[in-house]
Amino acid sequence: MVDDALGLTASGRPPRLVLEPADYMRVYAIGDVHGCLDQLLALEDLIHEDAASVDGQKLIVMLGDYVDRGPKSAAVLYHLTASAPVGFDRVCLRGNHDDAFLSYLEGDPAGDWLLDHGGVETLRSYGLDVDAAGNLNGSNHQLREAARHAVPGSHMEFLRGLPVLLTMGRDVFAHAGIRPGRPLSEQTDDDLMWIRRSFLDLGPGLPVRVFHGHTPMREAFTGPNRVSLDTHCYHTGRLTAARLEGGRVEILSVGPQP
């Protein structure tokens, strides 16, 4: 199963995956969840119904940012560390919020960023009394230690094993996008998890089509070389997926429509 814990590569970098398109009859890519468990479950039900008449194995690709901002980050991780829906494999990619959460738990100062970007909701979802914790900054070692004790080891293992890139033929899946014109082998982890303006303005600059989230949009965008799926779920209540079959892309979503 491709959703098993992958672990880090020998270099210590997050994994990068390559799968054969012929191994899957359909692929569904899901945008940023941000703690919105109810919408994720509803979208999985819709995907399961949509794929019911399709024989053969299907794949769900989660595009990252499972935590922060929304109310149920811990429950989302419990859900994603369990088995994928019957008839599906699942690949969960690493978003910048997931990466920052892991860094925070591991004591890396880079992770302190999440405390100002929705991490408080994540800590609350693990039962921490953030309001009584005092200063919400990286120097609050007591809060960090409480978070380490509250987060299950299986969630830490899941976060450490998240890959930053999936390639299937000419289709590429990454949380934020890619650095325009740079070969996939030369994309940095920061490119794949954090890039925004240059990718949105210029596109991939390579003969690929990139499925990504990261940049909230009023509705999904589908173009010849880029498919954007972050519909700001924690704010709009709308979670979006792309169905990929035979090179064609269709959009599925749950929640209020624009």
Tell me the whole-structure pTM to 2 decimals.
Answer: 0.94
Average pLDDT over residues 68-95: 97
- Whether 19 shows a pLDDT value over 70: the answer reads yes
Give the whole-angstrom CA distance, residue 65 versus residue 101. Answer: 10
> Who contacts 190 (Cβ-Cβ below 8 Å, separation ≥6)?
none
Map out the domains of the chain with their CATH numbers. Answer: 20-94+164-254 (3.60.21.10)
Tell me: the pLDDT tens digits for 200-255? 999 999 999 999 999 999 999 999 999 999 999 999 999 999 999 999 999 999 99
Whether the CB-CB separation of 196 and 215 falls below 8 Å is answered with yes
Whether the CB-CB separation of 138 and 100 falls below 8 Å is answered with no
Weakest mean pLDDT among 19-33, 68-82, 131-145? 131-145
Average pLDDT over residues 141-161: 96
Give the whole-angstrom CA distance, residue 241 versus residue 251. Answer: 6
Separation in Å, CA 7 to CA 11, 29, 158: 11, 22, 8
The full 3-state SS of 148-174, as one line of letters, equals HHHCCHHHHHHHHHCCCEEEECCEEEC
